[in-house]
Amino acid sequence: EVQLVESGGGLVEAGGSLRLACAVSGFSFSNAWMNWVRQAPGKGLEWVGRIESESDGGTTDYAAPVKGRFTISRDDSKNTLYLQMNSLRTEDTAVYYCTTLTNPPDSYYYFMDVWGKGTTVTVSS
Amino acid sequence: DIQMTQSPSSLSASVGDRVTITCRASQTIRSYLNWYQQKPGKAPKLLIYAASTLQSGVPSRFSGSGSGTDFTLTISSLQPEDFATYYCQQSYGSPFTFGPGTKVDIK
């Protein structure tokens, strides 16, 4: 069974740091491109960033609100995706989801087909 | 950045109704458009990718159409389990922006 399980959420003061993890099972993580998406309380979905597979270069890309503060990394030996969050702000309060970023063979149509259940980050002032 | 809008922001419908949700991009995104369904307290679920391709396991009452800047998600006969919020999302360019969502609730 394909499964993504996030952990590491919690309460942190503004300016602090937190590292989220996403444990992956049921598919070849090393070949997967992965995303983080967040959802503030009562709000819509916001893409945070993505990381390519190491074989495709391991490139990362971030949304403007988190660029320079958040870092996505991966440990393929542990089948785990990470989101290091520094200089946290109250507006970073959200449920954070990790997702796969998949495209069919010979296609550039990327979509988020597998999602974890999310982990909640609360940043207090 | 590519901005995504959805209309309506919410709608009330009855079981068996045909429901249509519209998504518009601020510039052409060809067919790089995905639709997700989210129920309260749950993670989103992929319904449709590449504007019109049904994800495996998704009921055939869901369909998507459109290209360029205008897209539609249609539920042909609304079922009780379809009451949820629906989001469109473009994957044409970074950042991968989502629409604000359309909440479908019971009339």
Express each pLDDT in B88-101 by its tens digit: 999 999 999 999 99
> Quick one: pLDDT at residue B91?
97
Closest CA to B45 of B36, B53, B33: B36
Does residue A105 carry a pLDDT above 90? no
Q: What percent of chain A has pLDDT over 90?
A: 95
> Quick one: pLDDT at residue A85?
98
Q: What is the mean pLDDT of chain A?
A: 97
pLDDT bin (cut points 50, 70, 90) of residue A108 is: confident
Distance CA A35, CA A96 (A): 10
Does residue A22 carry a pLDDT above 90? yes
> Quick one: pLDDT at residue B105?
95
Residues of B in contact with A45 (CB under 8 A): 36, 38, 44, 87, 89, 98, 101
Residue whose structure tokens are 């995104």: B29
pLDDT bin (cut points 50, 70, 90) of residue A41 is: very high
| Nearest by CB: B94 against A37, A44, A61 | A61
Residues of A in contact with B36 (CB under 8 A): 45, 112
Are A35 and A100 in contact by the 8 Å Cβ rule? The answer is: yes
Distance CA A14, CA A17 (A): 9
Q: Do B89 and A44 touch (CB under 8 A)?
A: no
Distance CA A58, CA B35 (A): 27
The residue with greater pLDDT, A107 or B15, is: B15
Q: Do A45 and B50 touch (CB under 8 A)?
A: no
Residues of B in contact with A35 (CB under 8 A): 96
| Exposed e or buried b per residue across B64-83, where buried means at least 16 C-beta atoms within 10 angstroms of its C-beta | bebeebebbbebeebeeebb
